[in-house]
Structure 1
Amino acid sequence: MRIHVTELKAGDKLSHDTFNSYGLHVLSKGTDLFAREISKLFQHQIDYVDIDARPSEEPAIRTIESGLSPKWLPTVEPIYQDAVSGCEQLFMEAFQNGKIVEDDVVHTFQPLVDNFRMERDVVSMLLLLNTKDDYTYQHSVQVGMLAYFLASWLDYSEEEAVKIGQAGFLHDIGKCQIQEAILNKPDKLSTDEFETIKKHTIFGHRIITDSFGASLAATVALEHHERIDGTGYPNRIAGSDMHPVSKIVAVADVYSAMISSRVYQKKRDLLFVLKELYRMSFSELDPETTHTFIRHMIPNFIGKQVELETGETGTIIMTHSSEFFRPLIRVEERFIDLTVERSLEVKHVFM
């Protein structure tokens, strides 16, 4: 059956190969159409496609945008929780002994890599796995995962990306030596308390150096709160003196912290967080690293439901490579291109 692209539903299947007006092959016969594929049709300005007939008895497609969990969740959730528990054990080991065992790090982190390597919808993955409990340990796991993905996007080899992920995983290990009353304080930290928090970078560097010797992970633990404009801590070094991997973990660290609920902070909307990273890329965070992260995260919003500032709700159909935060949105039977409708903004992204 021939159908206009605006009438496509998630789960439709192409019955013929699809080409654009220049004769370029876009999608193959038999392709299952979901938000990402439909977006590709829009990008190539294809109006009509041929799809297999829809069986009347066909059950509703279970997708993230319908509010139901993706098929990978039951498999990866236990692995994620095991990693969080393993991280807690590493913190306890570091607190008690001042050292950690490298094999314990590998055995805790590697299952994440093995199971999440092919999962590219990082937005959904983090949101569905994130809970309000064990912030410090979840944050470490998330930063490790994000650092691994970001390193891959920056064209590091798989072996290098795994090492970078491990460094991200251990970046906050020095917090094991900070009092919980300060780490989990619900109110604003005093000047003295913030100075104490800052020391986790030095403590982490010492723990990892005592455990493994001079290493990438030790450098990252020391530098992940440094900023390219020299305003970070503990040594206020500038971007030219920061290790490139410290810049990767800094981006992952800020992103994970801002999307998470903490005792003193509510989690923030996803697009707001990426906008904040973009703003920080002109002063505090490395621009190339940050923009690479944003470019790869933004397409994951395709298919997500959003609320506009007008109160209308719709679905992101297409994202733009240059105007990151102004997607094409379908609201009922009409389309709103925020690159054209400049007065409109996305207020909230739903799962």
Structure 2
Amino acid sequence: MKVHVTDLKPGDRLAADAFSESGLHVMQNGTPLTEEDIRKLMKHGVDYVDIEPAVQQPAVTLIHSQQMELLQKTKPYLVQAVDGFESMYLEALTTGRFNETMVDDIMEPLVDQLKEHKDIVSLMLCIDQNDDYTYHHSMQVGILSYYIASWLGFSKEEAYEAGRAGYLHDIGKCQIPGSLLNKPGKLTPEEFEIMKKHTVYGHDIIRDSSPDTIPALVALQHHERDDGSGYPHAIEKNEIHPFSRITAVADVFSAMSMNRVYQSKQELLTVMHELHTMSFGKLSANATQAFIRHMLPNFIGKNVILSTGERGTIVMTNPADFFRPLVKTETSFVDLSSRRDIGIDQIFL
């Protein structure tokens, strides 16, 4: 049976050798196709191949079902992380400190769940968002900081500490007037100077609550930038703690991809592209590239709504432009790397 490569599924078996348009032999007859094999065929410009249909296609459905079960299993831990941060935030608001034991009570079982997840894009998409931006944002930054540290090769213990620090990074916002935190318009220069103090407040609150100095340092430094353009002290990358640089990447991704009072959330691949741009001088290049490299494959198979209103599925990331993939709609294939007039409005499970 001859099919277009974008219709291939893992488990399909080639019924004939596959050749590119230029006659290059790409894959041998009889090869049972994996997702990597399918991407290889696309990369080499193979349009159609002869296959024996997969006899184990229910396994693909099973994998999706298992993924959804894992997400449902993890959701209570996400809720607990949001509720726990709210409790610590309100305690710090009234007393200037929080119960440090709560952090490990929340983070340890959450990280145990995170270890089971491979598709982090699905995990991000399943996070419920409501008006409590600061609480959800802190939980998300803690999760992403843990993953980025893991992807950079830090030990399990160090990755946990990075996630823990990321979780607490915005605790100082409890000392910022609600009128500024919830202001729908742009802050004035004077208001922004007040807002920037949340980094110092966070440092002091954590130091008063815990003997662990690293989360306090991350709270202080997560808005510093490699080129010295950040705050509160405008230090450069050699002076910024590695976990602060990791949290900065997680913080920017989360902030841009969530609804805020003054900004609607942005589509995830657009955010990834912005992070890529910021990795040239602003954010840690290593942390940003590790994040992008591990996240991008997770977008394959995700459903989208295009700016045309059409619904489709991402079937391939383009080597020439990772952030504008090939999308399969009901009627056609849309290569966003060449169709600059079309974009993705929304990505969902």
**TM value normalised by structure 1:** 0.83
Question: Which residue in the other structure is 1:238 paired with?
Answer: 236
Is it true that 1:264 corresponds to 2:266 in the alignment? Answer: no
Q: C-alpha separation between the residues in 1 aligned to 2:93 and 2:215?
A: 18
Secondary structure of 1:90's partner?
Answer: helix
Residue identity matched to 1:283: G
Is it true that 1:252 corresponds to 2:254 in the alignment? Answer: no
Question: Which residue in the other structure is 2:125 paired with?
Answer: 127
Residue identity matched to 2:235: I
Gaps of 5+ in 2: 19-24
Secondary structure of 2:315's partner?
Answer: strand
Question: Which residue in the other structure is 2:345 paired with?
Answer: 348
- The one-character-per-residue Cα deviations of 1:7-61 (angstroms, maximum 9, x if unpaired) are 346xx74579999867799986xx8x7x777546645769344344589xx8x95
Distance 1:343 1:2, change over 3 A: closer
Question: Which residue in the other structure is 1:213 paired with?
Answer: 211
Q: Which shows bigger deviation, 39-48 or 163-172? A: 39-48
Distance 1:3 1:215, change over 3 A: same
Distance 1:18 1:41, change over 3 A: farther
Distance 1:187 1:3, change over 3 A: closer
Residue identity matched to 2:155: S
Distance 1:193 1:6, change over 3 A: closer
Is it true that 1:47 corresponds to 2:45 in the alignment? Answer: no
Does the 8 Å CA contact 2:150/2:159 hold for their aligned counterparts? Answer: yes
Secondary structure of 1:70's partner?
Answer: helix
Question: Which residue in the other structure is 2:188 paired with?
Answer: 190
Q: C-alpha separation between the residues in 2 aligned to 1:132 and 1:92?
A: 18
- CA RMSD in angstroms comes to 3.5
Distance 1:284 1:267, change over 3 A: same
Does the 8 Å CA contact 2:269/2:323 hold for their aligned counterparts? Answer: yes
Q: C-alpha separation between the residues in 2 aligned to 1:165 and 1:18?
A: 49
Secondary structure of 2:292's partner?
Answer: helix
Q: C-alpha separation between the residues in 2 aligned to 1:321 and 1:229?
A: 29
Distance 1:343 1:135, change over 3 A: closer
Q: Which structure is richer in relative contact order (CA contacts within 8 A, separation 6 or more)?
A: 1
- The one-character-per-residue Cα deviations of 1:305-341 (angstroms, maximum 9, x if unpaired) are 33555655432212245632132333446544445x2
Distance 1:115 1:151, change over 3 A: same
Q: C-alpha separation between the residues in 2 aligned to 1:113 and 1:25?
A: 44
Distance 1:186 1:343, change over 3 A: closer
Question: Which residue in the other structure is 1:229 paired with?
Answer: 227
Question: Which residue in the other structure is 2:22 paired with?
Answer: none
- Aligned pairs for 1:6-17 within 5 A: 6-8=6-8, 13-14=11-12
Secondary structure of 1:315's partner?
Answer: strand
Q: C-alpha separation between the residues in 1 aligned to 2:30 and 2:173?
A: 50
Gaps of 5+ in 1: none
Distance 1:157 1:344, change over 3 A: farther
Q: Which shows bigger deviation, 286-295 or 254-263? A: 286-295
Q: C-alpha separation between the residues in 2 aligned to 1:26 and 1:132?
A: 50
Q: C-alpha separation between the residues in 2 aligned to 1:188 and 1:160?
A: 37
Q: C-alpha separation between the residues in 1 aligned to 2:177 and 2:112?
A: 34
- 1:305 aligned to which of 300, 303, 306: 303
- The one-character-per-residue Cα deviations of 1:224-246 (angstroms, maximum 9, x if unpaired) are 01111222111111222211211
Does the 8 Å CA contact 2:149/2:159 hold for their aligned counterparts? Answer: yes
Does the 8 Å CA contact 2:225/2:237 hold for their aligned counterparts? Answer: yes
Q: C-alpha separation between the residues in 2 aligned to 1:223 and 1:18?
A: 58
- The one-character-per-residue Cα deviations of 1:128-173 (angstroms, maximum 9, x if unpaired) are 2131231111100000000011111111111111100000001011
Q: C-alpha separation between the residues in 1 aligned to 2:251 and 2:151?
A: 17
Q: C-alpha separation between the residues in 2 aligned to 1:89 and 1:275?
A: 35
Q: CA deviation at 1:342?
A: 6.1
Distance 1:239 1:78, change over 3 A: same
Secondary structure of 1:213's partner?
Answer: coil
Question: Which residue in the other structure is 1:204 paired with?
Answer: 202
Does the 8 Å CA contact 1:4/1:49 hold for their aligned counterparts? Answer: no
